[in-house]
Amino acid sequence: MSDQTAHADGTGGISRRNVLRAAGAGAAFAGFGGLLAACSGGIKGASTGSTKGITIGWIHPLTGSLAGFGAADNWVISKIKQTSPYKNGFKVGGKTYPVTIKSYDSQSSVSRAGDLARTAILTDNVDMLFASSTPETVNAVSSQAESLGTPLVCSNIPWESWYLNLFPKGNPQHATEKAKYVVMYFLGAEHLAECFIPMWNRIHSQLSTDKVVAAAFPNDPDGNAFRAVFPPIVQGAGYTLDMSSAYPDGTTNYTSMISQFKSVNADFFTNVPLPPDFATMWHQSIQQGFRPKLATVAKVLLFPTDAYALGSEAYNIATDTWWVPTLPWTSSFTGEVCQKMANEFEAATGGQWNANISNYSLFEVAHAAFASVSDPHDKNEVANAIHNVNIHALAGPLNFASGGPAPGVAITPPAGVQWQKGTKYPLEMQIVDNTLLPDAKITADLVPTNT
């Protein structure tokens, strides 16, 4: 198996050169030359019958504001390269096909993610794409894959944000539209509300709080999804949700929002911002005296490096996670359990385990799909195959044929976690609630963010 990585040069274009990635993989740069000219209607769902190898492209944020989401990805590729199917080739229709993985850094840019998808499809002729980590990467890639007829497996995006991008007139409460070429696995905004509420209830019982939740949802795909989904669930649980106005990503002054939250005596706080925006927002909240009894945040503080950047300001902030070392799931390739993967990651990187080790399962889904077709280069056949994948993987049970909350969606529910002062690491992610994920072992008691 070969492994190639596409990167940007400093001018925003793409250069051709070789570099070494952290995973020890060779890297080659894909160019945009002739990209538009290469586009033709004949590519969609094309079947070539070729015996050439299988090419898989992965578009993910390895640098930029969302780099925390990609921090485990090079390690994941290094592990995948050691598995028999990716090392020795996929057996498809009585033949064995070598597999090439091309890794493309979105640099946390929406426009770049879409451009890379076009490059991967039209220039690099990938047989399948992966896209991972937030709407800022996944949605643009999904749109291109669906338009250009290339099978795509997505992870790490709330399913409502993914669904409404592909079907703007769709209704997540009755999601019937089905993408032809795209599937995804992750959780939804509703699962985050259902993950946070048990933690609010415990702090409310402990401190006799007001049941008012301050909510800061930006004007972006995640914020719009949360703004639609959270209110009825939160209100149904007996809480008042005090939402700020929809603010633009990149806002630097949150004074009016903080004043609003203070005026209603909000004892709880929730949000779904970009990581740099949260750092600014939270620092200003502390400075201006808004100290909620429990902060439960989404999209931010999901990974160690982001938490470390806030230092002591991150103490006892709660969030969610969709993968933890104590889960009983195993690799469908090697049988390795989650704890072994976490231990190997820490030994190899010197850092704390990372929930996006679960991106390993993108490769499990791909193999399951290709193994079930007769021609790996027939994009229609492969697209049908990914919609029928039903496996037990490192990320948990993944059944894209079940109907899910929407066709092609497999849910991986979250556990409630909290960043507490650590012993081995400066901050450590502790599992404090397993209401939605009972197999996740509780590792610490939930404590107030502020008392």
The position carrying tokens 């610490």 is 444
Is residue 156 within 8 Å of 138, Cβ to Cβ? yes
**Mean pLDDT, all residues of the chain:** 90
Residue 183 β-bridge partners? 153
Do residue 217 and residue 307 come from a single domain? yes
Domain assignment present for 446 = no
Interstrand relation of 396-399 and 390-393 (parallel, antiparallel or unpaired): antiparallel
Is residue 360 within 8 Å of 132, Cβ to Cβ? no
Do residue 250 and residue 197 come from a single domain? yes
Do residue 67 and residue 163 come from a single domain? yes
Q: Tell whether the model's pLDDT for residue 205 goes beyond 90.
A: yes
- In tens, the pLDDT along 100-116 reads 999 999 999 999 999 99
Handedness of CA 186, 160, 179, 105 (dihedral sign): negative
Is residue 314 within 8 Å of 305, Cβ to Cβ? no
Do residue 168 and residue 259 come from a single domain? no
% of the chain surpassing 90 pLDDT: 88
**Per-residue pLDDT at 51:** 63
* Banded pLDDT at 159 (limits 50, 70, 90): very high
Domain assignment present for 232 = yes
Mean of pLDDT values over 393-419: 97
Structure tokens at 307: 């938490």
Domain assignment present for 133 = yes
Do residue 14 and residue 162 come from a single domain? yes
Structure tokens at 351: 């850092």
Q: Tell whether the model's pLDDT for residue 3 goes beyond 60.
A: no
CA dist 77 to 23, 334, 345, 357, 413, Å?
A: 7, 15, 12, 10, 24
Give me the CATH number covering residue 277. 3.40.50.2300
Q: Tell whether the model's pLDDT for residue 44 goes beyond 80.
A: no
Q: Tell whether the model's pLDDT for residue 6 goes beyond 70.
A: no
Do residue 313 and residue 337 come from a single domain? no
In angstroms, the CA 58 to CA 126 distance is 10
In angstroms, the CA 121 to CA 117 distance is 6
Do residue 329 and residue 280 come from a single domain? no
CA dist 358 to 80, 339, 340, 428, Å?
A: 12, 12, 13, 19
In angstroms, the CA 19 to CA 28 distance is 7
Q: What is the pTM of this model?
A: 0.88
* Banded pLDDT at 20 (limits 50, 70, 90): very low
The tally of domains found in the chain comes to: 2
* Banded pLDDT at 35 (limits 50, 70, 90): very low
Residue 305: phi, psi to the nearest 5? -60, -35
Do residue 15 and residue 138 come from a single domain? yes
**Per-residue pLDDT at 48:** 44
Is residue 56 within 8 Å of 119, Cβ to Cβ? no
Structure tokens at 181: 């070429």
Domain assignment present for 51 = yes
Domain assignment present for 233 = yes
Do residue 59 and residue 180 come from a single domain? yes
Q: Tell whether the model's pLDDT for residue 27 goes beyond 80.
A: no
Do residue 202 and residue 338 come from a single domain? no
Do residue 245 and residue 353 come from a single domain? no
Domain assignment present for 448 = no
Domain assignment present for 377 = yes
Do residue 205 and residue 98 come from a single domain? no
Amino acid at 69: F
Enclosing domain of residue 281: 190-321+415-433
Domain assignment present for 450 = no
Is residue 180 within 8 Å of 156, Cβ to Cβ? no
- In tens, the pLDDT along 46-67 reads 444 446 999 999 999 999 999 9
